[in-house]
Amino acid sequence: MAETEREGVSKFDLRFTPAAPIRPAALHGLIGWRDILFRLGLIGQDPQRYGGLAYGNVSLSLGAGEFLISATQTGGLTTLTEHHFAHVQRCQPSLNRVWASGPLPPSSEAMTHGVIYANRPEAGCVLHVHSPSIWRSAEYQGIPVTDAAVAYGTPAMAQTVRGLIDTERMIHKGLFAMGGHEDGVVSFAGDVETAACALLRALVD
């Protein structure tokens, strides 16, 4: 797979309104699992990788297409609080536009998360991590892979993800690799534990 994309660069038109954080009850569990992924190096920041930029992001569905997502460039933090999340009210891939509010702007992968929630309403969370081992072995493990020519965070990626998650291979396994986004792997499920455990299983396979 191509190593063509730089982490942490938002490519959508963001309409952002500064606002106080919100903290739904399920956010505690999301942060707990996010911190585990951080300790495993699946989320983080390394001066030797991706130009030193932070990588990885997590989100929690609020229903009706809205969601909380970790803010841009928070992957390097040891832990997060509600102050490190943005509330995305709407994503419109056709306009390449995201509407959000909160203490900080949303992750550069907000559009991908939004497409998953819009097309798989049963999804309760989305985890985007970086794992060289899963990414390189994705095809061997039978994990779907997006076209390497499709850049992350773009309308084309949104369309690709929309088509991918509706395929038979994705019905019972909400896990895919991003061919044009070095080491990028996405897991989604009804709850964060299920999504995280899918990543852990792929990591040891």
DSSP assignment of 64-109, as one string? TTEEEEEBTT-TTSSS--GGGEEEEEEEEGGGTEEEEEESSPBPTT
Beta-bridge mates of residue 125: 60, 189
Q: What is the pLDDT of residue 152?
A: 78
Task: Output the pTM of the full model.
Answer: 0.93
Mean pLDDT of 49-73: 96
**In the chain, what are the domains?**
13-204 (3.40.225.10)
Q: What is the pLDDT of residue 1?
A: 37
Q: What is the pLDDT of residues 121-148, one digit of tens each?
A: 999 999 999 999 999 999 999 999 999 9
Residue type, 145: V
pLDDT tier, 11 (very low <50, low <70, confident <90, very high otherwise): confident
Nearest to 23 by CA among 95, 136, 102: 102
Mean pLDDT of 69-92: 97
End-to-end CA distance of the chain: 19
pLDDT tier, 2 (very low <50, low <70, confident <90, very high otherwise): very low
Q: What is the pLDDT of residue 156?
A: 86
CB 199 within 8 A of CB 58: no
